[in-house]
Structure 1
Amino acid sequence: MFILKRQDVDIKTMQHPGKDQPIPILTYQGQTFRLLSVFNAAQEEDARALWRDLTDNRGKACVLLEEPERFSIWGKIRLDQPDLDDGAAAAAAAAAAHIKACLLLVQVLYMDVEDLLGPKQARQFETELSTVFAQWKFPQTGTPQAVRHLLTVDPLAMAPLPPWAEHHLHRLLEATYHMGKTYFGNTTFAARSLDALEDLPKGERQDFLAWLKNSPTGKVWL
C-alpha cells in the first residue's frame, strides 16, 4: 500500500479499549494503522518481503515505515472497532493451514535427522531450532519442552496452534532448509518432507503449496 518515512506520519499511543495496555497508532492522511511487526536495519529485505506478501498476496492494507534504525509494518484499522486486535491480527497472523504445513515439514526433517544421523544430531537440531525461535521471537517457544512439543505433536491435532505471523513462517522455512542442507549435504530431504503434506486436507495442501511457490524464502523447498 504505502512505503513511508518517519516524517510522513504521526505516531501516538492510545489505551486498548479492552485491555490495560497502550497501543502504538500510526496516522497517515486520515487513515489509522496498528503496529504488526518490527525489523532491525539489517533486516530490510525481510521487512519488504513480508510487506509485499501482506499487500500483494493477502490483500491487506499495510504501511511499511522506513526509519534509520528499523523497519516496521503497520496494518490498517478503524478506531471504532470493538476490538483493536481484530484488524491487526487478521493482517499479522499466518493462516492456520500454513502453520500446520510448516510444522509438518520441520517434524519430518527432524525425524529424518534422528533416524538417519542418530539421537545426538537430533538433539543438536533441537538446539539450533531453539536458537532460531529465540532470535526471531517466535511466540510459545521459550522452553525446551515447548520446542519438543512442536517437534513431536501432530500439527493436525495440535490445539491451539502457535500464534505465529507470516514472517515467522518465512524465517522457519529459510532456517530449516539451510539446516537440512547442512545435516544431509544435499537437498533430497525437501522432497521427503513435502510428502508429509499428504496428511493435510486437499484444499489446505493446495493452498499451502501455492503460498510456498510465491514465498520469497519458502519456494526453495519445491
Structure 2
Amino acid sequence: MFILKRQDVEISSIQHPKRDQQVPILNYQGQTFRLISVFKASEEEDARALWRELTDNRGKACVLLEEPDRFSVWGKVRLDQIDHDTGGHGKKEIYIQGSLLLLQAVYFDIEELLGNRQAALFEKEIAEFLQQRQFPETSSLEAVQNLLTNNPLNSGKIPPWPENQLIIFLEELHKLGKTYFGNTNFAHEVTDTLQDMPEAERSLFITWLNESSLSKLWQ
C-alpha cells in the first residue's frame, strides 16, 4: 500500500488494554498502523517480500517503512481492535511461528555442530514424526524442508497447526534435541532463539510456554 520513510510518519506507542505492554503505533495521514515485523538493513529483500505478500496476495493495507538502519512492516488497524493479538498476527499464528523458530534453531545447531549427515538424519526423523501424527501441510519432504529453512516470520505462510499439536511437537523436538546433543542446554536459550520476533510477540509466546506443560522443557 505505502512505502514510506521515517520523516513521513509519526511513531508512538499506546498501552495495551489487556496486557502490561506498550504497543508501537505508526500514524500516516490519519490512518493507524501496527508493527508486524522488523528487518535489518541488509534484509531489504525479505522486508519487501513480506510487504508484497501481505498487500498483493492477502489484500492487507500495509506500510513498508524505510529507515537508515532497518526496514519494518506495519499493518493497518483500528485502535479499538487491539486485543490479545500482536503484530497483526493472531495468538495461534504467533505460537506456530515461535515453535518453528525453535525447530530451526535445533536443526541449524545440529548441522553446525554435528555435521550435515546428522542434520539430514534429524530432518528425516522430524518428517516421519510430523507425517505419522498427521500434522497439516507436512505430507511431503519438501514441505518439511521448507519448515526447516524458511523464516516463519517472513514467509507469509505458516502451517495451520492447532495448539494441542504444537505442544506434542515441542515435546518431541525437545526429546530429539536431547538425543542428538546429549543434554538439554539447547532448550535453555529460548529468548535468544526468538530474538528476531517483535518484542510483544516474543513475550506472548514465552508466556504461553511458561503457562503450558512445556515450561519444564523449554526455559
Shorter-chain TM-score bucket reads 0.5 to 0.7
Q: Does 1:173 align with 2:179?
A: no
For residue 188 of structure 1, what is the aligned residue in structure 2? 185
Deviation (angstroms), 1:194: 4.0
Ranges in structure 1 where 5+ consecutive residues have no aligned partner = 1-92
User: Quick one: structure 1 residues 129 and 112, their matched pair in 2 at CA, closer, same or farther if it must change by over 3 Å?
Assistant: same
Q: Secondary structure at the match of 1:100?
A: helix
State whether residues 173 and 218 of structure 1, in contact with CA within 8 Å, keep that contact through their aligned partners in structure 2: no
State whether residues 96 and 161 of structure 1, in contact with CA within 8 Å, keep that contact through their aligned partners in structure 2: yes
Deviation (angstroms), 1:117: 0.3
Ranges in structure 2 where 5+ consecutive residues have no aligned partner = 1-89
Q: Which one of the candidate residues 205, 209, 213 is aligned to 1:208?
A: 205
Cα displacement string for residues 121-169 of structure 1 (whole angstroms, at most 9, x for unaligned residues): 0011011101110122100001110000000001101222111100111
User: Quick one: structure 1 residues 155 and 122, their matched pair in 2 at CA, closer, same or farther if it must change by over 3 Å?
Assistant: same
For residue 161 of structure 1, what is the aligned residue in structure 2? 158
How well do the aligned residues superpose, as a CA RMSD in angstroms? 1.6
Residue pairs, 1:22-171, within 5 angstroms: 95-171=92-168
Aligned length: 130
AA of the residue aligned to 2:103? V
Moved over 2 A (4+): 191-194
Cα displacement string for residues 90-119 of structure 1 (whole angstroms, at most 9, x for unaligned residues): xxx961111100000010100000000001
AA of the residue aligned to 2:161? W
Give the whole-Å Cα distance in 2 for the aligned partners of 1:137 and 1:195: 30
Cα displacement string for residues 41-96 of structure 1 (whole angstroms, at most 9, x for unaligned residues): xxxxxxxxxxxxxxxxxxxxxxxxxxxxxxxxxxxxxxxxxxxxxxxxxxxx9611
State whether residues 104 and 197 of structure 1, in contact with CA within 8 Å, keep that contact through their aligned partners in structure 2: yes
Report the TM-score, using the length of structure 2 for normalisation. Answer: 0.57
Give the whole-Å Cα distance in 2 for the aligned partners of 1:158 and 1:129: 20
AA of the residue aligned to 2:127? S
Give the whole-Å Cα distance in 2 for the aligned partners of 1:218 and 1:167: 15
For residue 43 of structure 1, what is the aligned residue in structure 2? none
Give the whole-Å Cα distance in 2 for the aligned partners of 1:145 and 1:218: 31
